Amino acid sequence: MKRTSLPALAALLLLAAPGAGAADCNVRDFGAIGDGTTVNTAAIQMAIDACRDAGGGRVVVPRGVFVSGTLRLHSHIELHLEGGAVLKGSPNLEDYRLGGQVVGLLYSENVEDVSITGRGQIDGNGDVFMDLKAAKKIDTAGSQHTRQKERFREVREGLGDGPVVPLPRPYQMILFSVCRNVTIEDVLITNAPFWTVHFADCDSVRVSGIRLFNNIMVPNGDGLDFTSSSNVIVSDCDIRAGDDAIAITGYDHHFELPGYKGIRHPSENITVTNCNLVSRSAGIRIGGLDQNAMRNYVFSNLTITGSNRGIGVFQRDEGSIENMTFTNIVIQTRLHTGDWWGHGEPIHVSAIRVNEKGPIGRIKGLKFSHIVAAGESGILVYGTKESVIEDVSFEDVDFRLDDSPLNPVAGGNFDFRPVFDQRLSLFAHDIPAFFAQHVKTLRLRDVSVEWGNVKEPYFTHAVEVTDYEDVVIDGLRGDASPASRDRPPVCLRNGRGDRVVNVRSARRR
């Protein structure tokens, strides 16, 4: 690839920057060439720096394909991509270094009032960092407790559902680290080689109207990631990602990048609304490793389709997960082959430790309402003795559990990765339409269960709850699976304080 001349760029900078005060800095005026081959890192960075030195403003990327390595944004900068503009990641890994470390395409650290806008495109060029002819597989040690053993998620030929095998690659494609007042709106973001947009320790974030289309086969190709970030609004987005579409977690030390301190403060006050989500893993993922307190989230008016898991809430470490509502959501999930986390559950809530020692937080106060779901595995609320899940309700939920062509190689298992006890990582288990254990104050009101033409005997009750305190089931319409017609629709075991009323068969008489 051609690279622009630094002396020529310096001359252009002297012509463009004196007098400063200009609100717009067009990258072409600093020597950037939008021919799809020239590497423009230095020219575009000069435009960004000149705009900063002028007191802030817009850095304009005009129509054309502008190849670049890592660019660093500053406070009071709007990176604006005009219609027809493409900011494309370099195919050379050496172009993604900052302070001697591998980073991604756009990097911001300790800045405020920064935005990415426009009708143009940011293309991470991710496929060049993948072996697109090889699929990553689960090893036999990971599948030893599954129903299928070494045949678990087997693919006889081809790639199946992936994921493909990553090569050395850039990290987070767009990273905001310890930033305030961040906006991304309207742009098309594609082909990330890793996490697409990561907000780490940020406050006051708005993401609106974006389309984020990744290669669905790429592992770790998350859409939006929020770690230890608060006061966030995500709205009117279309996100299709190989890994989690939207992931909200606590402190994350796995990528020790410049400026990322892993500040351990709560992640709170987050709203996600009016979005379409597609994922090979979870449409929405909440919680994970090394997490802080997470609280006060609202998710509404969403569609989650084609995913391996719809909504996932995971308590694995210290820091509790509390006060979250999920309403007006359509979910469609299925089983997948390959080494993706998740197992076709429309809704998954679990609290299982990931470390041998140390505290584990709790999950409390989750409300699911007005949900229409179809999936190839059941809804899960899975607590443990040391972390009982409290105050969870499902109201006006219609769920259909469908048959799957992948049942012979994947069906009849639970997937709780990552956990400390590998026996609870991937393991065989019966599949009720709704299963809960170690729960306190669980409410199911106006819930319907419909079964597809499932045949396997591990599909069991409409609702099964064990090790519980205070359970109310009011207005259940459904039966045990067609493969278990001799079972009752509701099975309650080893608990106290339950009330089951208004249970009606869904079968025609």
Kindly tell me if the per-residue pLDDT of 14 is higher than 50: no
Residue 142 confidence (pLDDT)? 84
Separation between Cα atoms, residue 231 and residue 202, nearest integer Å = 9
Kindly tell me if the per-residue pLDDT of 5 is higher than 70: no
Residue 259 confidence (pLDDT)? 46
Residue 506 confidence (pLDDT)? 75
pLDDT tens figures, 436-466:
999 999 999 999 999 999 999 999 999 999 9
Residue 121 confidence (pLDDT)? 98
Kindly tell me if the per-residue pLDDT of 109 is higher than 90: yes
Separation between Cα atoms, residue 112 and residue 457, nearest integer Å = 57
Kindly tell me if the per-residue pLDDT of 7 is higher than 90: no
**Would you state the structure tokens that stand for residue 130, as one six-digit string?**
């993948």
Closest CA relative to residue 111, chosen from 203, 195, 11 = 203
pLDDT tens figures, 288-323:
877 789 999 999 999 999 999 999 999 998 889 999
pLDDT tens figures, 208-235:
999 999 999 999 999 999 999 999 999 9
Confidence of residue 254 (pLDDT cuts 50, 70, 90): very low
Which is more confident, 437 or 2?
437
Confidence of residue 264 (pLDDT cuts 50, 70, 90): low
**Would you state the structure tokens that stand for residue 473, as one six-digit string?**
């089931």
Q: Is the pTM of this model over 0.85?
A: yes
Annotate 459-499 with DSSP letters as a single string. Answer: B--SEEEEEEEEEEEEEEE--S-GGGTTS-SEEEEEEEEEE
DSSP state of 484: G
Q: Averaged over 100-127, what is the pLDDT?
A: 96
Residue 291 confidence (pLDDT)? 77
DSSP state of 174: E
Q: What is the 3-state secondary structure (H, E, C) of 393-409?
A: EEEEEEEEECCCCCHHH
Average pLDDT, the chain: 92
Closest CA relative to residue 199, chosen from 218, 186, 180, 214 = 180
Residue 292 confidence (pLDDT)? 83
**Would you state the structure tokens that stand for residue 377, as one six-digit string?**
């595995």
Confidence of residue 257 (pLDDT cuts 50, 70, 90): low
Which is more confident, 485 or 414?
414
Residue whose structure tokens are 């995913």: 307
Angle at alpha carbon of residue 291, lines to 289 and 292, rounded to 5°: 175
Residue 252 confidence (pLDDT)? 52
**Would you state the structure tokens that stand for residue 115, as one six-digit string?**
């935005």
Confidence of residue 265 (pLDDT cuts 50, 70, 90): confident
